[in-house]
Every structure is written in structure tokens, then in C-alpha cells.
Amino acid sequence: MIHIENLQKVYEDIPGHVPAIQQIHLQINRGEIFGIIGHSGAGKSTLLRCVNLLERPSSGTIQIDGEEMTRLDSRQLQAKRRKIGMIFQHFNLLSSSTVAENIAFPLKLAGMEQAKIQARIQELLDLVGLQEHANKYPNQLSGGQKQRVGIARALANHPDILLCDEATSALDPQTTKAILALLLDINQKLGITILLITHEMQVIRAICDRVAVMEKGLIVETGKVLDVFLKPQHPVTKDFVGQVSDFSTSSGNDQGIIQSDRHGTLIRITYIGEQTYEPILFETVKSTNVSFAILQGTISSMKSVPYGQLVVELTGGHQEEIASVIAKLEQEGIDVEVLTP
Ligand SMILES: Nc1ncnc2c1ncn2[C@@H]1O[C@H](COP(=O)(O)OP(=O)(O)O)[C@@H](O)[C@H]1O
Ligand SMILES: [Mg+2]
């Protein structure tokens, strides 16, 4: 649906003309929630703003449904932008307009007649849960409510794509959760493709299907969220995964356990989906001489998929027997990482 090839953007007023983004290739599929994560200055906003041409790229191409954005004339671009909603970290609401007027704004621009606008406002207020607040002004709303207005406004003209620039970064964790749940709901109910940028791995984990990691204007890693969490490759990715405290990887902080005085074989197993709740470990060692002790464990979920991680010490039995237990776990589709050298 969105196809980006070899995109670069150089802001001319930067000394030395360092590109804000370069060599960006991305394919975003219809209906997915795609996350872009990176530290401040990595080029996330620049990339996002190139998608709807709020920023004109220096070179490269952006196709949306096969249409090359950089070749549209201003009238065509305006029509295309109507189908791309956008929300912002600081909401960007009109402070002297009511909630209803803010939502009506893009509808008026699109030339919708008054009676239809009123009906559409009601639908949108229902969708984002602001029925009671139509006549309030932005400064009478909480941050979460302001973002709901932003979302309603962005969805007013039935867009196919929603761009989210740090949409939850100004919100507290509880409100962040509620807004992410709303975005997921909108994605599932309306089939809208969501492209979001964030510096928080929690956001990626909560709702994204795939993620790209940006650093210094480049995409350094991309993949399914689960794969990136389980096997982060780039140091920056490992850093971000480390932000999610209940998730450890080989770069994580279980060195303490590994270095403690253990005689058995230490493994970390990660299991995903339904099997999370099955006693596979017990079943696997039952008929062997191997026994196990769970040293550390977490159960959580990624989007709606449950996963669990355990650090386990295997003792007893011969090396071959332990190796065969590990092989059996892997046959069950469990990811096993041997931690002891
Ligand atoms: N309008 C602009 N003019 C000049 N430089 C800019 C402009 N917008 C962003 N930059 C620079 O481009 C780089 C990427 O910025 P940005 O895309 O905002 O990153 P992020 O959203 O990841 O924080 C930064 O070095 C920033 O200073
Ligand atoms: Mg930004």
C-alpha cells in the first residue's frame, strides 16, 4: 500500500548538508500497524512527513496504492492527503474552537454540507468516546481527551492511512494504554493502515505488527515485532528492547544469574501463543533423568499474543540427555538459548 524507495531528505539549512534521512526503503502493507522507533533526531518525523508530502523529499519515491506522490499536482495532492489522516504529539487542536468545530474542520475543507457534517461529527464522537464533550474547548480537556479529538479529526474524511507522530509521548502510561487501545480498535474495525513513530518500545510492543528501527537517518533493522524482540540484531535495537524491563535478551541483564555458582546447564526459553500456558517443560523432562529449576520467569503479551520467558537450570543426566531435552523443546516450537558457555 505504501512503497518507499531510496528516499532521502536533506534540509538545505544544515551546515554540511547532512541528510535527515537517506537510503530509506519501506513496504507497508494494507491493514497493518507499522512502527518506526528511533532516538530523537533519528529522522522519524522527517520520514513520516514525507509520506504525505508535508516535507518534499530530496530524492527517491513514495508510492501509495501505486500512485507516485511526488508527481501529483497540487489539486491531486490535496485529494490524496484527505485519505491520509495525521495525529501529533501535541495534538495541534484549534484552541478557540470547540471539540465539534475541530472535528468539523477537515469536513468543511472537503466541502461537505452542514447536515452531513453534524451527522459525521456524532459518529466520530461515538467512535472516540467523547459524546459528552462536543461543546468543550481544548483547554477544558485532559491530554487523552485532546488526543481523542485529534484522532476523530484525522479520521473525519474516512482515510485509508493514519500517520501518528509520537501520538502518546505527551501522555501518562495509563492514558497511553487507552489511546493505543483506541488505535488498535480503529485499525481492526475500520481496516485503516497505521504508520506510527515513537521512541518507546512499549508502544511498539502493544500494537505494532512490524517495526523499523532508525538511527542517524537510516533504517538499521526491520522485521516482525516478535522477531525483533526475540532476536534484536543492531545495538540500537538491543537498547530499545532493553527498555522493556520485563523482557530480557542475550544483551539483557541476567548476567547475575549466569555468573552465580550454578553447576547445571542454564537455558532461556521463550514460548509464544497458546503454548505459553502449557507445562511443556515438565512433559519434556518427565521420562528423562534431567530435572529443572526455574530461576526467573515472566509472562506477558505482544499485541494480543501471549508469550513467556523462563531462565531454567537443567541438572542431572548426561550432556547428551540434556542436549536431547533442548532438542525436544525446540521441536515443540520453543525458542531455546543456552546461556552457559
Ligand atoms: N525543518 C527542518 N529544518 C532543518 N533541519 C531539520 C528540520 N526538521 C528536522 N531537521 C533535522 O533533521 C534531523 C532529523 O529530525 P527529525 O526527523 O525531526 O527526527 P526525529 O523525529 O527522529 O526526532 C535532525 O537532525 C533535525 O535537527
Ligand atoms: Mg520527531
Task: Decide: 127 and 154 in contact? Cβ < 8 Å.
Answer: no
Between the two ends of the chain, the Cα-to-Cα distance in Å is: 46
Bridge partner list, 194: 33, 162
DSSP three-state, residue 198: strand
Question: Ligand 1 atom closest to Cα of 13?
Answer: 4
pLDDT at residue 315 greater than cutoff 70? yes
What confidence score (pLDDT) does residue 250 get?
47
Task: Decide: 159 and 123 in contact? Cβ < 8 Å.
Answer: no
> Measured from the CB, is residue 198 less than 6 Å from ligand 1?
no
DSSP three-state, residue 89: coil
Structural domain spans, the chain? 2-241, 255-338
Contacts of 65 (CB under 8 A, 6+ apart): 1, 160
**How much of the chain exceeds pLDDT 70, in percent?**
93
Q: Which of 86, 81, 43, 45 is nearest to 64 (CA)?
A: 81
Question: Ligand 1 atom closest to Cα of 165?
Answer: 21
Strands (E) across 106-192 are located at 161-165
Q: What is the pLDDT of residues 10-25, one digit of tens each?
A: 998 666 778 999 999 9
Give the pLDDT mean for 268-277. Answer: 78
What distance in Å separates the CA atoms of residue 1 and residue 109, rounded to the nearest whole number? Answer: 25
How much is the mean pLDDT over the chain? 91
> Measured from the CB, is residue 40 less than 6 Å from ligand 1?
yes
- Is the domain spanning 2-241 CATH 3.40.50.970? The answer is no
For the domain bounded by 255-338, which CATH number is listed?
3.30.70.260
> Measured from the CB, is residue 120 less than 6 Å from ligand 1?
no
More confident residue, 109 or 260: 109
Predicted TM-score (pTM) of this structure? 0.86
pLDDT at residue 140 greater than cutoff 60? yes
